[in-house]
Chain A
């Protein structure tokens, strides 16, 4: 495992542990991915589209975004409680967060979503 302190190499020692930032970064990645996967599932499966129809005038978009926001915020609270006083290896957390962000971006891009559904 990489030494978490390595990221501050050449700089004065950090005063605040990076755990709080790590929790915010990873949960933001998960939140973005959640929008992508919920949107794709709602588009691919009619029963899920009906499930996501929380507010009929807005349609499934209301449930997709509400679900993703809830996942993001709940995860952020949980990770913050667990990590806020810790220094963590940020390389792996950044990689995971950017992968999730990228996957989420791909899933909401209609030609990619349609391709996955075989349309």
Chain B
């Protein structure tokens, strides 16, 4: 098995940072739901609180890594302009998508939306993590603050979901390719 360096970085961006960011959401929403539940939430002990803090910080780090790796590593390869006379657009994903009316929408709607809406997720989730860590168990006494935190967490999930969906579909139609090959041992057929 082998994959190119650009495919590897794209996989780290999407399936590493992006997918783990979306997966980690479930725990955050569960904790928020616990805090927002009627009757007040039982206070977390020191150990559980520390784990929650690490979890929330990891969520923020994943979110920021996803958008920065996307914008500054993968996106420049995606939007690269081919030299004049290039006929093989395999390494120029945006141009490849736009070369056919059947796939142009993946750029005109998908990438144009994804490249901006994705940034809502780390901004919103940083606020969510800050408030949850700063207020801790006291959050159960701030109903309006909980509402805002829950709303922004949902918006972050929505934004990350859009980015993830279009990222996967765009990469399916026109994968970012090129760079040195990376050989993955153990994949050779017998």
Contact = CB atoms under 8 A, between A and B. Distances in A.
Q: How large is the interface on B (under 10, 10 to 19, 20 to 34, 35 or more residues)?
A: 35 or more
Contacts of A21: 131, 134-135, 142, 145, 148-149
B152 A101 contact: yes
B119 interface: yes
Q: How large is the interface on A (under 10, 10 to 19, 20 to 34, 35 or more residues)?
A: 35 or more
A18 B109 contact: no
A109 B75 contact: no
A24 B127 contact: yes
Label chain B's interface by main secondary structure. Answer: helix
A57 B40 CA distance: 50
B32 to A, nearest CB: 14
A24 B131 contact: yes
Interface in A1-46: 7-8, 11-16, 18, 20-22, 24-25, 27-28, 31-32, 35-36, 39
Contacts of B126: 28
A90 B113 contact: no
A28 B155 CA distance: 11
A15 B141 contact: yes
A117 interface: no
A20 B123 CA distance: 16
Interface of A: 7-8, 11-16, 18, 20-22, 24-25, 27-28, 31-32, 35-36, 39, 55, 57-59, 61-62, 64-65, 68-69, 72, 90-91, 93-94, 97-98, 101, 104-105, 108-111
Nearest to A87: B142
Contacts, number: 122
Contacts of A69: 123
A98 B116 contact: no
Given A13-B141, A58-B76, A111-B109, A64 B116 contact: yes
A58 B75 contact: yes
Given A7-B144, A8-B142, A111-B109, A32 B116 contact: no
A25 B130 CA distance: 10
Contacts of A25: 127, 131, 145, 148-149, 152
